[in-house]
Amino acid sequence: MKGRLIALDHIGDREAAALMVDGQVEDLFLETDQPAPGTIYRAIVERPMKGQGGMFLRTPDGSAFVRQVKGLAPGQTLLVQVTGYAEPGKAIPVTHKVLFKSRYAIVTPDAPGINVSRRIKDDDAREELLAVAHEIMDAGESFGLILRSSCEGADADEIADDIAAMADLAGQVMGDSTGDAEVLVEGDGPHLLAWREWTDKAEIDSADGSFERHGILDVLDGLTIRDVPLGGHASMAVEPTRALVAVDVNTGGDTSPAAGLKANLAAVKDLPRQLRLRGLGGQIVIDPAPTAKKDRRQIESALRSALKRDSVETVFVGWTPLGHIELQRKRDRLSLSEVLT
């Protein structure tokens, strides 16, 4: 089918949401047993991590680790927010720079000022949004505000309500800094994340069984398989290991002179989507199909373009002496294999 569709369903007793664009699954949110990114704790400082410039904290969900904090003593309280999922056996990653994020607005307690997303280019639209924001935010307010790109074309009353709700929540949470370790705000679940992040116009199917009706369950089965077809004879193998995610691009039975370049271009264009749907992050190492060194610039350009459109922060590190490509990808999702087991 053409167009965008958001399917809201459950897998077992877990919430699940999928975004489909022109019949292809583009994004996926699944509920997990771990604290969701965005969760805010009142945490208790336990001990410093020598040489790392961070502290271990106690939270209701276990040990957490925060970087780049100084002047804290054991027993003190600190408001922190979950930034991603913990690797097995490691502490929950958190930050002390807490944000309150919704569909239209992000309230930033540590960064005063009102800003509009740079993606909104129309000057009149920007002025109208600033006027709405200034009506809601107190002139003496120490909190900052970012108006997201989703504000463009949205109803002014809905934007105002969203700003007011986030500002009110921020005021309540930031004023609740004393006491024992406690969860102050739960991270958004898949259905709420879908409303918050997938803001372009789309058909919504929230009736039970939507994943089966739209073939999403079959896609999930395919995502547990290592090999990804790239068209023709080409394929890439995506294999998570303990240290990194290895991606091996193969031309298969295609022996034409351009086979390597074609396979590599197809692989890097689809790789961000595959990593996103599979919930893979950390160090990514790509072993491209054999191709001439002069083709590297074209491959790199296609990869950077694909990463720019991706919703998960990923850094292109570069080429290794062996001709591999290295990426560093934020761990803001849990591996699909862990969620479905």
pLDDT per residue as tens digits for the range 80-128: 999 998 888 889 999 999 999 999 999 999 888 999 999 999 999 999 9
What is the average pLDDT value for the chain, to the nearest integer?
93
- Dig out the tokens for 43 from the structure: 């945490």
In this structure, which topology does domain 224-340 adopt according to CATH?
A: Aminopeptidase (3.40.630)
What is the pLDDT confidence band of residue 3, given thresholds at 50, 70 and 90? very high
Q: Give the chain's length.
A: 341
pLDDT of 53 reads: 74
| pLDDT over threshold 60, residue 139 | no
The tens digit of pLDDT for each residue in 287-337 reads 999 999 999 999 999 999 999 999 999 999 999 999 999 999 998 888 998
- Better-scored residue on pLDDT, 202 or 72: 202
Compute the C-alpha angle 253/254/259, nearest 5°.
Answer: 145
pLDDT of 138 reads: 72
Sorted by where each begins, the domain ranges of the chain are 4-34+197-213, 40-98, 100-177, 224-340
* Unique residue bearing structure tokens 């509009």: 116
Pick the CATH number of 40-98 from 3.30.300.30, 2.40.50.140, 3.40.50.150, 3.30.700.30: 2.40.50.140
Q: 40-98 and 224-340 share one CATH topology?
A: no
The tens digit of pLDDT for each residue in 22-61 reads 999 999 999 999 999 999 999 999 988 776 678 999 999 9
Alpha helices per DSSP H over the chain: 123-136, 156-174, 190-197, 210-213, 216-223, 259-278, 296-308, 336-340
Longest CA span, the chain: 68
CA distance 125 to 154: 10
The tens digit of pLDDT for each residue in 169-212 reads 999 999 998 999 999 999 999 999 999 999 999 999 999 999 99
Instruction: Dump the DSSP string for 248-281.
Output: EEE-TT--STTHHHHHHHHHHHHHHHHHHHHT--
pLDDT of 30 reads: 95
